Amino acid sequence: MHREFADALAAAVGAPNVLTAADDTAPYCIDWRRQYRAAAECVVRPANAEQVAEVVRLCARSGVAIVPQGGNTGLCGGSVPTGRGNELVLSLARLNRIRGIDPLDDTLTAEAGCVLAQVQQAALDVDRYFPVSLAAEGSCQIGGILSTNAGGVNVLRYGNARDQVLGLEVVLPDGRIWNGLRSLRKDNTGYDLKQLFLGSEGTFGVITAAVLRLRPRPGASATAWIAIDGPESAVRLLARLRERLGETVSAFELISRRCLEAVLAHATAFRDPLPASHPWYVLTELEDSGGFESLYARLEATLADCAERGELRNAAVAASQAQSEALWRIRETIPEAQFANVKHDISVAVSRIPALVEGVESALAAHFPGAQSYIFGHVGDGNLHYNIGMADAGATATLMKRSEEVNRVVYDVVSALGGSISAEHGIGQLKRSELVRCKSPVEMELMRTLKSALDPRGLMNPGKVV
């Protein structure tokens, strides 16, 4: 790294916050799945928006590219360097202050480096609720979930990360700070600029803070683990639960038997929630303003009725918070229990989920005999994590080398059903070439026009998305 540039960075953020030794930078230069590793010039850890702006100005002056990084839990290689050109990792971890909470406005203003769990807890502390929830919530950061427009398990009721945002503060690629930290529920004064930065994976600027919407804290929640025949039953069961229980249904997750078995094999602490084995499961959660007893009773009665109609095979309703947490731990452990395989994060209209599973399974059987699918995820949003491996680690490693061919097979089915190749994880480095295949030339041109208008020198997270 150029001496003058290094000195200027140290002056901006303090020398201890400019990491250059390989041992220090290594954890920032490899992604969560250990699929992408590349060196950075350095890792810079500013403490506030002004310091971020100064670092961005210095980078613009020296032509150094910036890779914004939050909790580094992203699953598409967006948060790590590409290894092409001079890149600096800009860690937002020290911007971790909650700037304010207003229970009358139902808003919380958080800096980008606040960990999601910290924000959830801060909301609970004032008897409010921040509904974004995902297995990485102990490490992913607000800037990361907003930049990927993360989903998680509560999208069904509350929407994606994008839907939780009222205002943003962003450092633009030239180092100017855009203060859009408004708390307005209604504001039609021209283009809604914050939407540009939500879900654009750090390619337009660095989010430094956000005004987040809070919700009423649910009085009670009830959880059920339900055995079903297959995806078709899941879609019908969701419709039935929503008919009977309305908006109280906040999560509705599909889990295949193979995923459950992977979790049971992963750690001895896990138990199969039901006495017999079943091919598929749904994990559902209800939230309501009333008490637990009545919610539990409504859920149990609805499931008993569904069982009588033959709409489910068996069900276990959690009788305590501890039982509910144990069921959710199974779901949350799936990503690490089936860590190495060819990942897909796909969505279709909810009603097309059965056709999606049928189509992908038969295409896989034809093209990759012996392939084993780990199917799970947010079926209530039409979003499945469709991860494909083989019976043993060696064969899976070989399959991973053919991941482009596997992707082709999966994405052709997705595309025939009018679906998306990235429901929630984003594009990053992983799906960049696929994006070009699945978007029309008009859409790609619009995206590139936006990119060159906002970041004409291409210094914001290059090699990601477009």
**Partner in contact with 150, chosen from ligand 2HG, ligand FAD, none, beta carbon below 5 to 8 Å by kind:** ligand FAD
* Selection from 340, 444, 362 nearest residue 410 by Cα: 362
* Sites for ligand 2HG among residues 331-350 (CB under 6 A): 334-335, 343
Which partner, ligand FAD, ligand 2HG, none, binds residue 143 by CB below 5 to 8 Å per kind?
A: ligand FAD
In this structure, the strands spanning 345-347 and 107-111 are unpaired
By C-beta, is 292 or 339 nearer to ligand 2HG?
339
**What CA–CA distance (Å, rounded) separates 179 from 203?**
18
| 377 forms part of the interface with ligand 2HG (CB under 6 A) | yes
431 torsion bin: left (phi>0), alpha (psi -120 to 50), beta (else): alpha
For residue 428, CA distances in Å to 77, 147, 273, 461 come to: 5, 11, 36, 9
Structure token pair of residue 72: 């580094």
Contact (CB, 8 A) for 314 and 233: no
Is residue 166 helix, strand or coil?
A: strand
Helix, coil or strand: residue 316? strand
Closer residue to ligand FAD (CB): 343 or 352: 343
Judged by beta carbon distances under 5 to 8 A according to partner kind, the member of ligand 2HG, ligand FAD, none in contact with residue 92 is: ligand FAD
Sole binder of ligand FAD in the list 122, 206, 210, 237 (CB under 6 A) = 206
Distances (CA, A) of 37 to 154, 294, 342: 32, 51, 18
Q: Which residue lies nearer to ligand FAD by CB, 265 or 416?
A: 265
**Binder to ligand 2HG among 154, 302, 387, 461 (CB under 6 A)?**
387
Vertex 189 angle, CA 184 and 192, to 5°: 75
Give yes or no for residue 284 binding ligand 2HG (CB under 6 A): no
* Strand pairing class (165-171; 65-69): unpaired
User: x/- string (CB under 6 A) for ligand FAD, residues 394-433?
Assistant: ------------------------------xx--x-----
Q: Which residues 12-71 are close enough to bind ligand FAD by CB under 6 A?
A: 32, 67-71
Q: Which residues bind ligand FAD (CB under 6 A)?
A: 32, 67-75, 78-79, 92, 112, 134-136, 140-141, 143-145, 147-148, 150-152, 201-202, 206-207, 335, 424-425, 428, 461, 464
Q: Which residues bind ligand 2HG (CB under 6 A)?
A: 135, 334-335, 343, 377, 385, 387
